[in-house]
Structure 1
Amino acid sequence: LSFALSGPGVLTRTLLNAGVRVIALESHPAFFSKLQSLENSLDGQLKVIYGDFFRLDPLVTGAVKPPAVCSDKLFEAMGIAPVPWRADVPVKIFGIFPQRKERNTLWRLLFILYECSSIYRYGRVELNIFISEKEYKVLTAKPGELRTYQALSVLWQVGCDIQLLHMEPWSSFVTNFKNGRLAIPRSTLLPNDHLCLVRLTPQENLFTGGLKPANSATFIFMVKQCLTKPRSKLIDRLNSWSLGSAGRLLKALEIPKYVETGNVYPEDYKRLFCALQNSSVFAESWFHDEVLESIRNIN
């Protein structure tokens, strides 16, 4: 079973032609009408729902007004029940991220992934999404690539297996403005000539070694704080949290004592976090206050 974030319907038709049973979410009136006609011509292979995936589970009180959608009602209406985290992928989602909100969308999905909330309450939901080339470069950046290696890189690489399925030139998706400029602005620091179809499959072993949905916000805060200044020393960051045994901790984890935060591997950030769970630093109230403030700033 696959969800398609439909738009003009290119992805939806591709999935249907492959024999996949598809649930299409669409909020644009013209596209919605065309998809309904397609639905009526098929024998139950396509279900069209008026809704916007990028307005899923809004933080509002009271009734949710369409095109906003509640994931629990959507999944339950389709007969999709939660499965254990280590079970097979229960649902595959296909779509194109809105360019104006691409970075915010990646952060929001990251939070609900680590919290096991919204769509991830149902298990390891697989995303197959078109994102800009520049954001793909950030998601897959390696330690030492200081322009691109960010908290977003570490957290997505810890959380998901990231596969590049296809790269398509922007010209296949967008038209030029009347003045001749591309409708999608070029990036000055990173290549951004393509949309990248990327598969994000949550890691089966994400919640191991002490990392849990309940403390995931603290892990996100720790990584974000460490990579605010990627040329700073990791040991200095740990000592700023009043952790007097930082040197011994890094030695025990076989992490170089004076490594810069921008040179620490994603899996080492997770190992460091799990080791810190056994120290008193994350039990201090001031640390939790900073976590909450950091989350507010990201959201």
Structure 2
Amino acid sequence: MGAQLRVYRQKIRSAQTTKKITRAMELIAASRIQKAQARVRASEPYSRAVTRAVSAVASYSNVDHILTTEPEKVTRAAVLILSSDRGLAGAFNANVLRQAEELTALLQSEGKEVVYYLVGRKAVGYFNFRKRAFEKEWTGGTDSPEFDTAQEVGATLVERFIQDTAEGGVDEIHIVYNRFVSMITQTPEVVRLLPLEVVEGVETPGEHDLLPLYDFEPGVGDVLDALLPVYIESRIFNAMLQSAAAKHAATQKAMKSASDNADTLILDYTRLANNARQAEITQQISEIVGGADALSSSR
């Protein structure tokens, strides 16, 4: 009985130590999520403004540009996967990697070769463990993304997009990331970055509406050359910020669940320890009473 009681007490101390760690991580994630949400909100006006500018150029010009023109045949597609550098975030990384696998299966079923670009150590570890090839990786800044990283990622992807497929270029670029919906919900999402799909800023004019007139200087092609890389960078940076906010929210939720489970374990082991202690006391009393009876009988 004594050995069993020691085991229960050791498990209680272990659960209490784990609870202190998970509780501290929960509080850290809660403090970071506010900053991450503020950064997401701060990036949205710029992203919307760039989107409206690109919408105007793409909608009210008749110039065929490589970044807005659908290729006749798509042979190779690039997939940018945004994961995190650290774990302990529940199903955060598993969801985005599962979504990437589903996208890969879809693209391959359409006869497209898929090449990967990875952000975050978890995605890199996932591909290295399975000995799967990828083109380039960016790690070390997923908790607090920097715009310089988004610029580098955007420049790399645009360079590959304008490159001929025979020389290693791609015809499509997709991004897979977790979108922050709320503190409870983080949704994996797939967005096709290139060829450009403008989804806002253009409404069908009515019968008596006048279409706006635009004059582009120095030219439509030059404006698109300048605007679209900026648009891609802003979309990637916004996705990185969304992923960071979703990761902190997922960490807070996971650590809250771990702390609650630790409380449950402590309660269960405390009851078991009390039962074991009571059984040990009962056994000792029985032995004392039995010994006293034996002495009295021998007299």
Q: TM-score surpassing 0.5? A: no
User: Given the two structures, how large is their TM-score scaled by the length of structure 1?
Assistant: 0.25
User: Given the two structures, how large is their TM-score scaled by the length of structure 2?
Assistant: 0.25
Choose 1 or 2 for highest CA Rg: 2
Of the two structures, which has the highest relative contact order with CA contacts closer than 8 Å and spacing of 6 or more? 2
Specify which structure has the higher proportion of helix.
Answer: 2
